[in-house]
Amino acid sequence: MKKIVSRYLKRWAIEVMIKGQKQHLGLGDYHVWLYPAIVVRHLCLVDCDYVCLTQVGIDDQHAQGDKKDTTEMLSILPISQLKARMHQIVWNQEVQNVIKVSHDKNVICRLEKLLAA
């Protein structure tokens, strides 16, 4: 009986993951495609997105010093917030790259103000 209950409880986390993938990562957008290879590729990309966003959430928790017992279920931000965080990370990296190669002081000052904001 304990085994059945523990497996059933794991199902909820899977349901939440699939719902988040459908709402925020386009999991359900494949059903009109005719070619199975494209559907499989799309599903793989959605799963890769989910893994990357999960890693962002884990990294943020570690940066904040949240250390949880490894036997507990992982609790991270919702996908919509993780996507916003990922966009922020990519934006900051790209601005830093432009600052490294730019020789225009006005551009660098404006970008540094954007980063600070």
Q: What's the pLDDT tens digit per position in 71-100?
A: 566 677 888 899 999 988 888 888 788 878
Alpha-carbon distance of 68 to 75, in angstroms, equals 10
For 100, half-sphere exposure in the C-beta direction (CA atoms, 13 angstrom radius) is 6
Which amino acid would we find at residue 42? H
Residue 74 DSSP code: P
Q: How far apart are CA 22 and CA 62, in angstroms?
A: 27
Domain residues for 46?
2-116
pTM of the model: 0.64
Quote the tokens at residue 104: 């225009």
Q: What is the mean pLDDT of residues 56-78?
A: 71
Q: What span, in angstroms and rounded, lies between the C-alpha atoms of 68 and 76?
A: 12
The band of 67, judged by pLDDT with boundaries at 50, 70 and 90, is: low
Question: Three-state DSSP class for 5?
Answer: helix
Query: Per-residue pLDDT averaged across 42-64, rounded?
Result: 86
Inter-axis angle of helices 36-63 and 79-101, to 10 degrees? 80
Structural domain count of the chain:
1
